[in-house]
Amino acid sequence: MDNGPPRGTRDLLPDAVARREAVIAELARCYGRFGFRRIETPCVEDIDRLSWGEGGDNEKLIYRILRRGLEPVVPADTPLADVVDLGLRYDLTVPLTRFYANNSGKLASPFRSMQIGPVWRAERPQKGRYRQFTQCDIDTIGEPSVLAEAELLEGTLAALGAVGIERVTVRVNDRRLLGAMAAEAGVGEDALPSFFVTLDKLERIGWQGVKAELADRGYPEIAGARCEEVVALLAGAESVSEALDRAGDLLPRLPTAVLDDLRSTFDALSTIEAVAAPEAVASRLDASVVRGMGYYTGQIFEFAHPDAPSSIAGGGRYDGLIGRSLGKPVPACGISIGFDRVVEMASFSPPDLGIAVLYADDQSPSLVLETARRLRSSGGSAGLVLRRGQPRLQLDSLKREGYTSFVVIEDDSVSQPRPLRD
Amino acid sequence: MDNGPPRGTRDLLPDAVARREAVIAELARCYGRFGFRRIETPCVEDIDRLSWGEGGDNEKLIYRILRRGLEPVVPADTPLADVVDLGLRYDLTVPLTRFYANNSGKLASPFRSMQIGPVWRAERPQKGRYRQFTQCDIDTIGEPSVLAEAELLEGTLAALGAVGIERVTVRVNDRRLLGAMAAEAGVGEDALPSFFVTLDKLERIGWQGVKAELADRGYPEIAGARCEEVVALLAGAESVSEALDRAGDLLPRLPTAVLDDLRSTFDALSTIEAVAAPEAVASRLDASVVRGMGYYTGQIFEFAHPDAPSSIAGGGRYDGLIGRSLGKPVPACGISIGFDRVVEMASFSPPDLGIAVLYADDQSPSLVLETARRLRSSGGSAGLVLRRGQPRLQLDSLKREGYTSFVVIEDDSVSQPRPLRD
């Protein structure tokens, strides 16, 4: 009998859960200090909402749930869609927009949400990636100004720092800057989404690949080259301030307000850089950052770390999305942490299991229980462990498990506590 | 557009999540002191495992998940079962048995597991019951003696006490006592499962109903009456000790070891009763307790509370279940808390959101951010809030949200912090 978890999923053992719970507690504590409050939505959502077209490729990866009460044999010519009514959520953003639309009357304004929970994507299983994984999102809904962006960035950097993750680089861009760059390169408004899809592949296929794909799609020869040039010129600036000045010069159609907002965001980031440990945080304007999702409307962010092969966090402003559910426009902005990767990188002190109560199997239950009870009465932890095998080996194993001391119960008497030494 | 969550599920708002998280933290802390360690399994399991026949009626309520990569139209005469490969778990016990079988080599022995997580049952929606709900289970695997039962009971009562739930009554029974009672009443070994199903309805249909149903099923006229008599005689005993003596007399086929184990369990419970606040905990032998599931093999428990219409927790020993997955017998025993009900009943101090930073919308982002940063620098919480509407009304609303003080930023200056009063 195969007792493994379903393909692409995993079991989490006690040490792994302890580590995750410690990181969750720290992230929640940090974000809480910025006023973000945890909410929870069901893991299932209506399939129509999950398939609404804003989920990008994730919509192809939905775990779909059968309607209840179906006949045991499917009638001929039944479209698969007819037997499905729900799906497992593939992110926390779709549920958040529904949540906000459903509950906005009962929420603070702006509403600062924090979510930590599982999401599911039926991706091809590969090393280190799972079909059920955890996302940790913070979102500010109802704040149109760049205060939202600044606070989300500050909160995220504080949270990452609190779990010991430093040397973080924040790459900042703005969808409106991308739009102005595309216009400058001869790409029309209508073609923007597919243009973004291609540019988003930059890290994987390089500029040569991007240029070839743009040419294949019928864009002017110069489009890709022009973008490469803008990206390089902004990246080559001595300072963020110079990069923003260059952006203003290179992209005349870019509204000044966009640059002002970017300046405010970088101001906030530079303040953090100033107070953080040296090299803990760096930020730069990167005009090649796209972030896949179609729904972003303003600033977008990617958090990189030298030890991580891809982003450890990312997000941006998505002013149009909530309106789709609520029926009236509401500004929104959010950052999502790649929780599983952050957990791996986080610093962590293993839990202290306290005192092991070793008992011989002929001892009376009441003495064993009473001893543990007494040891716990001062507030500490005590776990019952039956004596077995080589004492030395058993003590080594208890030490590895996380116990720090032990007592032995035999011949109806209890030894003094002794520390477990390496 | 309907923005409600899927039928039978619910959104949890910040105050509700804060309450739940506080209860989770307290339960985990308490159980941790007894050596129980959190594990996590995926929310999905193979449909064959979920339908293995040990899940009772829950197996009829499974949310089934479509295989990936199916054609968009179902071919004629396709059994529904062919398009399904996974399901959402309906409890934490089935996953635990798989988890243990999959990971036993890496786990302490005995292994004390704690799980808190969502489960799904497609029950008819009704007030206060949800199709996604949370279970909190502790289980001891690999401990054959009654130490396991005693510790699970102690831990659960300590955990309930820690969240302020007192006046708990533990009704204790043993499946072997039930078996002996059934034998005494003329019910054969083979008929035990269906006998238990009927007896399990006692609270709903009363003795008259139980007796009628047993007669309908062809049991001897006297069967139900004999059980009623035994249950009443044990319930009428002056003390647990007398009840156990009576059980020995009334049920000659009951092995003495069963009574000895029950005595040990009641000893542990009476110690807790002695140290707990007066009337915080009571326990009694109740020979009518069945607990639905077929897999119980020894002692079984139901936790009742005067404010709760049904059990707030329950569990028992299930020595055969792990063996079904692992292929060799492993003793096991567990208690499950009805988390959602316990959360409602728990005492709880609402979170302190700290200081509200009220700003006029013409203030510079950097002053606003800098103020909040400064207020947070001593470790407290500070949330940005745009000034709007009637100041008095806004302050009242901030107070209700959980802020305890506020500053105001206007005309480029920051007021001194002031408390938010009722």
Question: Mind listing the pLDDT tens digit for each residue in B103-147?
Answer: 999 999 899 999 999 999 999 878 778 999 999 999 999 999 999
Question: Mind listing the pLDDT tens digit for each residue in A285-298?
Answer: 999 999 988 889 99
CA-based nearest residue to B138, from B38, B44, B6: B38
**DSSP conformation class of A306:** T
Would the pTM count as exceeding 0.80? Answer: yes
Strand A382-386 versus strand A413-414 pairing type: unpaired
In words, the CATH class of domain B1-38+91-164+305-351 is alpha beta
Question: How far is the CA of B287 from the CAs of A313, A350, B206, B221, B231, in angstroms?
Answer: 57, 44, 14, 20, 5
Enumerate the residues of chain A whose CB falls inside 8 A of the CB of residue B80. Answer: 66, 70-74, 83
Question: Mind listing the pLDDT tens digit for each residue in A339-367?
Answer: 999 999 999 888 899 999 999 988 988 89
The terminus-to-terminus CA distance of chain A in angstroms comes to 39
In words, the CATH class of domain A14-40+90-345 is alpha beta
Question: Mind listing the pLDDT tens digit for each residue in B152-167?
Answer: 999 999 999 999 999 9
Q: How far apart are CA A156 and CA A167, in angstroms?
A: 13
The pLDDT value recorded for residue B324 is: 86
CATH code of A354-419, in short, is 3.40.50.800
CA of B147, closest CA in chain A: separation in Å?
6
The pLDDT value recorded for residue B316 is: 97
Residue B94 region by backbone torsions, left for phi larger than 0, else alpha for psi between -120 and 50, else beta? alpha
CB contact under 8 A, A73 and B77: yes
Residue A57: pLDDT band with limits 50, 70, 90: confident
Backbone φ and ψ for B51, nearest 5 degrees, come out as -100, 30
Other C-beta atoms closer than 10 Å to the C-beta of A344 total 16
The residue in chain A having the minimum alpha-carbon distance to the alpha carbon of residue B375 is: A33
CB contact under 8 A, B45 and A5: yes
Give percent of chain A with pLDDT exceeding 90. Answer: 77
Task: Tell me, yes or no, if the two domains B1-38+91-164+305-351 and B166-295 fold the same way.
Answer: yes
**DSSP conformation class of B129:** B
CB contact under 8 A, A132 and B42: yes
Low-confidence ranges of chain B (pLDDT < 70): none
Mean pLDDT of all residues in A164-188:
94
The pLDDT value recorded for residue A101 is: 96
Taking every pair of C-alpha atoms in chain A, what is the biggest distance, in angstroms? Answer: 89
The pLDDT value recorded for residue B311 is: 93
The pLDDT value recorded for residue B361 is: 87
Cα A199 to the chain's mean position, in Å? Answer: 23
Enumerate the residues of chain B whose CB falls inside 8 A of the CB of residue A10. Answer: 42
Q: Residue B240 has which token pair?
A: 């647990």
Radius of gyration of chain B (CA): 27
Q: How far apart are CA A301 and CA A149, in angstroms?
A: 9
Count interface pairs A-B at CB distance under 8 A: 276
CB contact under 8 A, B381 and A3: no
Taking every pair of C-alpha atoms in chain B, what is the biggest distance, in angstroms? Answer: 90
Q: How far apart are CA B71 and CA B84, in angstroms?
A: 13
Q: In CATH, which superfamily holds the domain spanning B166-295? A: Bira Bifunctional Protein; Domain 2 (3.30.930.10)
Domain map (residue ranges) of chain B: 1-38+91-164+305-351, 166-295, 354-419
CB contact under 8 A, B5 and A41: yes
Question: How far is the CA of B350 from the CAs of A34, B14, B400, in angstroms?
Answer: 17, 10, 10
The pLDDT value recorded for residue A161 is: 94
CA-based nearest residue to A160, from A336, A349, A350, A289: A336
Residue A64: pLDDT band with limits 50, 70, 90: very high
